[in-house]
Structure 1
Amino acid sequence: MAASAESLWQGTKSQLQVSVGQCSDKGRKPRNQDFHGLCVPLEPQLGSKGIAIALADGISSSDVSHIASETAVAALLSDYFSTSEAWSVKTSVTRVLSATNAWLHAQTRRGQHRYDMDRGYVCTFSALVLKSTTAHLFHVGDTRIYRLRDGALEPLTRDHRVWVGEGKSYLSRALGTGPQLEVDYQALALERGDLFLLATDGVYEFVDARVMVDCIAEHSDELQVAARHILDRALANGSDDNLTLQLVRIDSLPRAEVDDLQHKLGELPCPPVLEARMLFDGYRILRPLHVSARSHVYLASDEDSGATVVLKTPSQDLQHDAAYLERFLMEEWIARRIDSPHVLKACAPTRKRNFLYAVCEFIEGQTLAQWMIDHPRLELETVRRVVEQIARGLRAFHRLEMLHQDLRPANLMIDSSGTVKIIDFGATRVAGLQEIDGRQVDGPILGTAQYSAPEYWLGEPGTVRSEVFSLAVITYQLLSGRLPYGAGMARARTRAAQARLPYRPLAQGRELPLWLDDVLRKACHPDPRKRHEDPDEFAHALRHPGAALLGRRPLPLLERNPLLFWQLSCLLLALMLVLLLARQ
């Protein structure tokens, strides 16, 4: 059973602050099968992962249920904080619980009660993750989570219990009962003063909600005392089960503008325009690589290590644009968290920086845009190899719940060995950071029009299938030198207009498989639901089209190219008319 000492955590004014009271008792049972716990990490995890609270209740019919309870709580409080900072809370907790559920179910299947789950490694479970200004609730079973706001105690979870008669019921869902787990999830906005109450049935079935509210109000400065009093009241009212109660009050909420990135924005000035041979912050500037209205990129040498690196500095014209500077900082943050040979790597800082800039590896090669100009007629096998590498790079993003959102030839580098790397993360969306604030959720399209998925133009959020569209357009361009819809997709701002756009088949003069157009047509379909599920599936389809496409006959000209069909028809009719007139 987890410790039940009073916890009052205080941080700086810009951090999430909570007061906690926890209490557990075996009651009239010989053993306490409940388990509870709470973890408040230090920064930077407090901001990136939040505070986790968990409660598990063993079932009385099992002699090993207390092991299940302890395992479930301990796994969440340790493994959740080991998951990627880029993952959303929902993804992180769900994956931890799924792994825990699989382990518990396997233990039961190996034991003597493999056919009687009520005597196996089973428990009910509720968890609360407080991250930034949002509460994330996870629930399975009949433990409960309540919220006390403005004097009203509101239940936030529903019991997974089926009643079969008066006083008779059974759990319809719990941890460890099956190989698959279904967890209730919801996210709620936090307000200062909110109090969350997590309780087992040994408490809430024997204490009236009004009594709990009054007790918390009476001991508002000592939540540990309030928790103990509520448990004592449940025991006095005849509770015959284990009793566990957790009280968590929100004392202070973080302000969105004071996260780590914003601290860096305030502390570091933008650098001046750099010139060749200049010594800048421990780097010798060799030459400029790229200068645009959005950033300046230089080739440089690290004076300490001698390594050749790339320095990227903010645009002089945008150095007072906070949103732009935040995206600029985000690029290096993202690059440090993705480990893939097909994604640009950030260089770990070895000394204190005095200016705002990013450092990454130097790729000796050229952009895919330039490479296509130098190789105008690529073999299909070469295109396949390029696309497969891009797909592997995108997979590294998607595993961390990131979307690149600006996939285009200019943002892909190919080196002398043929290795392709994804670069430029200025438009990347990170699910885990969206939960800290809403700045990445809505806003202008940051990608390039010709390669952006059509759903972006409708104001819809991007998905993995949006990346499939961009990759398919690049593939089409590698094979034909053109775009499948020309510039029409960027001008189509309604779903109906997008659906009317004709897909232009690849040039038939090349020796390409007839089914290739079907694969590309599906991958860059205006409706994301009709595309391939992910880039890997699309890359696989470029080599393995399936029996249905291999046995398919070529489409008639009317379907492949309606404009050419009618042009030829008109030409034929005109010739017939000329012949008829000539005979008269």
Structure 2
Amino acid sequence: METLTLAPVDPQSRILSAVEDNAIDALKAANGLQISAGQYSDQGVKGSNEDAIGIQIPSGLILTTKGAVAAISDGVSTAEAGAAASAISVSNFVADYYSTPDLWSVQKSSTQVLTALNRWLYGLGQDYRDARRGYVCTFSALVFKSCHLHMFHVGDSRVYRYRQGVLEKLSHDHTSFVGKRQYLTRALGLDVKVDVDYKTLPVAAGDMYLLITDGVHDVVSDVDIEALLHRYKQQIEHTNADGDSNSISAINCDQFCRALVDKAIAAGSQDNASCQLLHIDALPIKNIDEVYQSLSKLPFPPPLSVGMTLDGYKVVDVLHQSQRSQVYLVKDVAGGLMCMKTPSVNYLDDAAYIERFLLESWVGNRINSPNVVSIIDRDCEKSALYYLTEYLAGQSITQWIKCNPTPEVQQVLELLKQIESGVRAFHRKETLHQDLKPDNVLLTGDGRVKIIDFGSCYIKGIAEITTPLQRDVILGTADYSAPESVLGYRITQKADLYSMAVIAFEMLTGQLPFGGNQQQCKTLQDFLRLKYTPSYEINPLVPIWMDKALKKALSIAPEQRQADSCEWIFEMTHPVTIWQESTKKSPLIDREPLLFWQSLTVAFALLALLLALF
């Protein structure tokens, strides 16, 4: 088949258009990644070309949030549908990768796409008696995002990096020998599950990354490839001194790919030969002043009072004021009520604060759940920095707890299910809320739960973007924050799970767990000294099996909690399973972690003393 080319060979049309997002100047300010790329494929001595290659380098916001992609695939020769498999893999990977949520990390986006691709190819191959004769292909892809490279590899195509005159192979061939014949041990479409190698590395300006199929590396040695790259690198540096570095570099990349493929065919390659070369021309800017200028395009609005108007929105009430922000109840010209959040003038010259404020509305627009407050995105231009959300008439869970000192357990469970549903919407977008507390959960008049406030969110996809800003580490309220968050350890979705369990305990008992002493904890030893009082001792209506699920979610060590919020809410609502588990005596380290470590320390001390004496 013909080689699939997603990126035009013409360097002038290599950069694709992208939809700009006006609400995300903070991210675009950090965007300075420039890549030149070239690719070439030849069927060689074979009657058809079963390789597929594709490069996509978008511009604007998409380049910042998703990055640039290069993919190469080789249809397995023994597979009758190998050519179709390679074409499907490259085209669908590139298209589907850019269709994944902006909030996802590169690893999650790519893994999800590759898992689906592999299952599709494997399913198509079931029409063949032997899966190896169906839709099977190798696959290697590079995603360049900000200042990092993400590599995904399965099969025997290869990925190299050329840096400062040295060629290094980044991939590992998934092959084995049976007698004198070499076989693939891993490939897309070979089995219902596929193990794809993943690696992330920092990139540097001037790096060159090479992707080649076995039709090239089987006959051209690494030494010869390195020598050819060195010669072309010198040409790039020489010509860039006199002209447009990007276009000249791109042309040289195309020339190199053709030269390497021609060299492989001349050396007697018996397979299709394909090559891709990407040159890192520039990396994102590091100048804090440039970033601040981009962030401060809109002025901070002054403090507003009832009766004042901003962009046609009249202030009806002041709902919240703090050192960091203000929230107003406003009414538009049609009489509709909504909430307006504005930044505090205390942070007028704080670029990191402005970036985080801008990200709040951007994240909110991408969290789609009936249990999360909705951002109101209007097309009209703004004269100042603010964003709008739906207005929710009702009460916070803090107020609900005061009004319901002895609630029905089933009523609490119904509310917790909605809270978990909202939190799950964050987690599905690889976003942590990080400030779950009763004040940030609203209950509307018709019984709907809404999670509010995106100011402390951690977004995995955004965290991958390099910026010169020193981003704030926003900690949640001490009483509701997981120990690992307070101690500065790595946080995961289990941190939000812990916060939900604290809220659940308070809703059921009217009190905070651990006697309300958690806010005083500053060290791991402080947390280990906390004493858990079962919820059923405070509220006899709470079943013992439900308290087991609560206690597990409130474990100091994250690995001892439930796997995720879904598992927790399941345990909170299914007594039989939890009751069976609760009848098993848990180990001492789970029941009394401080006593366990103290006993272990004493035992080691005695052992050391005995060794010293005898």
TM-score (ref. length: structure 2) = 0.85
Alpha carbons of structure 1 residues 400 and 551: separation in structure 2 relative to 1, 3 Å: closer
2:185 is aligned with what amino acid?
S
Given the alignment, which residue of 70, 73, 76 partners 1:56?
73
The answer to which of 65-74 and 359-368 deviates more is 359-368
* Per-residue deviation, 1:294: 1.6
Establish whether residue 17 from structure 1 lines up as the match of residue 9 from structure 2: no
Alpha-carbon distance in structure 2 between the residues aligned to 1:316 and 1:538: 41
Structure having the higher helix fraction is 2
Establish whether residue 207 from structure 1 lines up as the match of residue 245 from structure 2: no
Establish whether residue 174 from structure 1 lines up as the match of residue 187 from structure 2: yes
Question: Cα deviations across residues 418-473 of structure 1 (Å, max 9, x unaligned)?
Answer: 11110011111001101112789986452110000011123212211111111111
Residue of structure 1 in register with 2:284 after alignment: 254
1:182 is aligned with what amino acid?
D
Task: Report if the CA contact (8 A) 1:6-1:22 is conserved.
Answer: no
Residue of structure 1 in register with 2:11 after alignment: 7
Residue of structure 2 in register with 1:268 after alignment: 298
Alpha-carbon distance in structure 1 between the residues aligned to 2:339 and 2:103: 25
Given the alignment, which residue of 104, 127, 130 partners 2:144?
130
* Per-residue deviation, 1:117: 2.2
1:207 is aligned with what amino acid?
V
Question: Residues 286-325 of structure 1 correspond to what in structure 2 (within 5 A)?
Answer: 286-303=316-333, 305-325=334-354
Alpha-carbon distance in structure 2 between the residues aligned to 1:197 and 1:425: 41
Alpha carbons of structure 1 residues 151 and 315: separation in structure 2 relative to 1, 3 Å: same
For the aligned residues, what is the CA RMSD? 2.6
* Per-residue deviation, 1:155: 0.3
Alpha-carbon distance in structure 2 between the residues aligned to 1:348 and 1:104: 40
Task: Report if the CA contact (8 A) 2:456-2:476 is conserved.
Answer: yes
* Per-residue deviation, 1:165: 3.0
Task: Report if the CA contact (8 A) 1:434-1:440 is conserved.
Answer: no
Could you say what secondary structure the match of 2:296 adopts?
helix
Could you say what secondary structure the match of 2:178 adopts?
strand
Question: Cα deviations across residues 34-77 of structure 1 (Å, max 9, x unaligned)?
Answer: 00011111322111111110000011112210000000000111
Task: Report if the CA contact (8 A) 1:445-1:456 is conserved.
Answer: no
Task: Report if the CA contact (8 A) 1:129-1:137 is conserved.
Answer: yes
The answer to which of 477-486 and 118-127 deviates more is 477-486
Question: Residues 162-561 of structure 1 correspond to what in structure 2 (within 5 A)?
Answer: 162-166=176-180, 168-216=181-229, 217-218=231-232, 219-220=235-236, 221=249, 222-255=252-285, 265-303=295-333, 305-437=334-466, 444-506=473-535, 507-508=537-538, 510-547=540-577, 549=579
2:118 is aligned with what amino acid?
N
Question: Cα deviations across residues 293-336 of structure 1 (Å, max 9, x unaligned)?
Answer: 12111111122x43211011111222222222222221111110
* Per-residue deviation, 1:143: 0.5
1:146 is aligned with what amino acid?
Y
Alpha-carbon distance in structure 1 between the residues aligned to 2:547 and 2:300: 48
The answer to which of 17-26 and 440-449 deviates more is 440-449
Task: Report if the CA contact (8 A) 2:548-2:582 is conserved.
Answer: no
Given the alignment, which residue of 29, 34, 43 partners 1:26?
43
Alpha-carbon distance in structure 2 between the residues aligned to 1:462 and 1:260: 31
Alpha-carbon distance in structure 1 between the residues aligned to 2:200 and 2:67: 14
Residue of structure 1 in register with 2:83 after alignment: 66
Alpha carbons of structure 1 residues 6 and 381: separation in structure 2 relative to 1, 3 Å: same
Q: Percent identity?
A: 40
Question: Cα deviations across residues 466-509 of structure 1 (Å, max 9, x unaligned)?
Answer: 11111111111011111111343343344344233211122355
The answer to which of 51-60 and 512-521 deviates more is 512-521
Residue of structure 1 in register with 2:598 after alignment: none
Instruction: Structure 2: give runs of 5+ residues left out of the alignment.
Output: 17-27, 237-248, 586-590, 593-614
Alpha-carbon distance in structure 1 between the residues aligned to 2:450 and 2:518: 26
Given the alignment, which residue of 129, 134, 137 partners 1:120?
134
TM-score (ref. length: structure 1) = 0.90
1:7 is aligned with what amino acid?
P
1:26 is aligned with what amino acid?
Q
Could you say what secondary structure the match of 1:70 adopts?
helix
Alpha carbons of structure 1 residues 404 and 457: separation in structure 2 relative to 1, 3 Å: same
2:9 is aligned with what amino acid?
A
Alpha carbons of structure 1 residues 552 and 356: separation in structure 2 relative to 1, 3 Å: closer
Number of aligned residue pairs: give it: 554
Task: Report if the CA contact (8 A) 2:546-2:573 is conserved.
Answer: no
The answer to which of 94-103 and 514-523 deviates more is 514-523
Task: Report if the CA contact (8 A) 1:261-1:329 is conserved.
Answer: no
2:138 is aligned with what amino acid?
T
The runs of 4+ residues in structure 1 deviating greater than 4 Å are 8-14, 256-264, 438-443, 550-555
1:535 is aligned with what amino acid?
S
Alpha-carbon distance in structure 2 between the residues aligned to 1:382 and 1:256: 52
- The structure having more radius of gyration, on CA atoms, is 1
Residue of structure 2 in register with 1:85 after alignment: 102
Could you say what secondary structure the match of 2:376 adopts?
coil
Alpha-carbon distance in structure 2 between the residues aligned to 1:551 and 1:46: 49
Task: Report if the CA contact (8 A) 2:43-2:49 is conserved.
Answer: yes
Could you say what secondary structure the match of 1:310 adopts?
strand
Given the alignment, which residue of 43, 63, 69 partners 2:60?
43
Alpha-carbon distance in structure 2 between the residues aligned to 1:100 and 1:50: 20
Task: Report if the CA contact (8 A) 2:508-2:539 is conserved.
Answer: no
